[in-house]
């Protein structure tokens, strides 16, 4: 009963927050004018009109298929970067868990990555690879890898050896212990960093596209910011918001499924 009441209260509070935001939006539009703060209903109309085709986007040299092509390009870069960075991070964590020599090899890298903010190294990727597809994806891979790998390595250092020792007494080999015991036990500590990495990676993709990509939502935002087309800028931001919320929900579901064995402790 208490859980139902809490969910109901949370829903009411969230709804109240949306209503306040909506009213503030309308008020800002009436004070600053439609050209600076387009009304919500205008954004809805422009959103529907520009999904598949947009003369404005075509005039800016970004194709005749509206936002759809650019949303797909941004989502593709994001998924390629985050999933690749995650895969590389877990491969490195497996190597550290399985082979003691790899831990010594990776320790200097961990210390460096822990000390230097990943975003501080992003300009180097742009200098090395430019704003091409590879450059943007490279930034996201590096950021996702750094966030997840450093968090996992630190959790590995704090890990209680009892479970691994128990599995060893049952005859489990080093590879089995690393894959079936050590890596799964890291996930509760890594859930937060994984969510942060997947959330912040959107900003990296958009910034990379703003700096000169040939496609993507950031490319559209850059074009319409220059000509002060506020309504289409807001539409682009809405697209990113939709994608970010959808990915966040998927990540939450996947993490909940992976951590189902730990549900009673959370």
| pLDDT at residue number 242 | 92
The answer to whether 232 and 186 are in contact (CB under 8 A) is no
The H or E element that residue 10 is part of is: helix 2-32
Q: Which residue has the higher pLDDT, 262 or 20?
A: 20
- Can you give the pLDDT at residue 151? 87
pLDDT of residue 266: 47
- The SS3 of residue 98 is helix
Fold classification of 39-265 is MetI-like fold (1.10.3720)
Contact call for residues 66 and 254 (beta carbons, < 8 A) = no
Residue 4: per-residue pLDDT: 59
Is it the case that residue 2 has pLDDT exceeding 70? no
Going from N- to C-terminal start, the domains of the chain cover 1-37, 39-265
- Report helix, strand or coil for 51: coil
Residue 188, Cβ neighbours under 10 Å: how many? Answer: 16
Q: What is the pLDDT of residues 38-76, one digit of tens each?
A: 888 888 888 888 888 888 887 777 777 888 899 999 999
pLDDT value, residue 3: 55
181 DSSP assignment: I
The torsion of the CA quartet 88, 91, 93, 99, rounded to 10 degrees, works out to: -140
Burial class (CB in 10 A: 0-12, 13-18, 19+), 211: middle
Six token digits for residue 138: 């490279």
What is the per-residue pLDDT for 66?
84
Question: pLDDT tens digits for 180-212?
Answer: 888 888 888 888 889 999 998 998 898 888 877
pLDDT band at 118 (very low <50, low <70, confident <90, very high): low
Mean pLDDT of 67-92: 92
């Amino acid at each position: 009963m208490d859980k139902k009441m809490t969910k109901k209260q949370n829903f009411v509070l969230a709804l109240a927050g949306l209503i306040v935001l909506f009213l503030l939006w309308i008020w800002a539009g009436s004070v600053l004018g439609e050209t600076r703060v387009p009304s919500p209903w205008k954004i809805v109309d422009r959103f529907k009109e520009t999904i598949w085709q947009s003369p404005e986007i075509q005039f800016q040299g970004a194709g005749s298929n509206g936002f759809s092509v650019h949303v797909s390009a941004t989502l593709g870069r994001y998924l390629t970067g985050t999933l690749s960075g995650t895969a590389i991070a877990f491969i490195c964590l497996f190597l550290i868990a399985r082979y003691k020599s790899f831990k010594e090899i990776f320790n200097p890298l961990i210390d460096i990555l822990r000390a230097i903010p990943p975003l501080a190294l992003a300009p180097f990727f742009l200098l090395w690879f430019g704003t091409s597809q590879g450059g943007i994806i490279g930034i996201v891979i590096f950021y996702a890898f750094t966030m997840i790998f450093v968090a996992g390595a630190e959790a590995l250092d704090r890990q209680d050896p009892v479970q691994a020792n128990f599995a060893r007494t049952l005859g489990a080999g080093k590879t089995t212990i690393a894959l079936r015991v050590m890596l799964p036990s890291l996930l509760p500590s890594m859930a937060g960093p994984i969510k942060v990495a997947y959330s912040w990676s959107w900003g990296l993709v958009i910034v990379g596209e703003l700096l000169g990509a040939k496609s993507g939502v950031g490319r559209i935002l850059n074009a319409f910011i220059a000509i002060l087309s506020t309504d289409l800028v807001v539409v682009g931001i809405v697209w990113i918001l939709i994608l970010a919320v959808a990915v966040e929900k998927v990540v939450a579901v996947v993490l909940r499924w992976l951590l189902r064995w730990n549900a009673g402790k959370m």
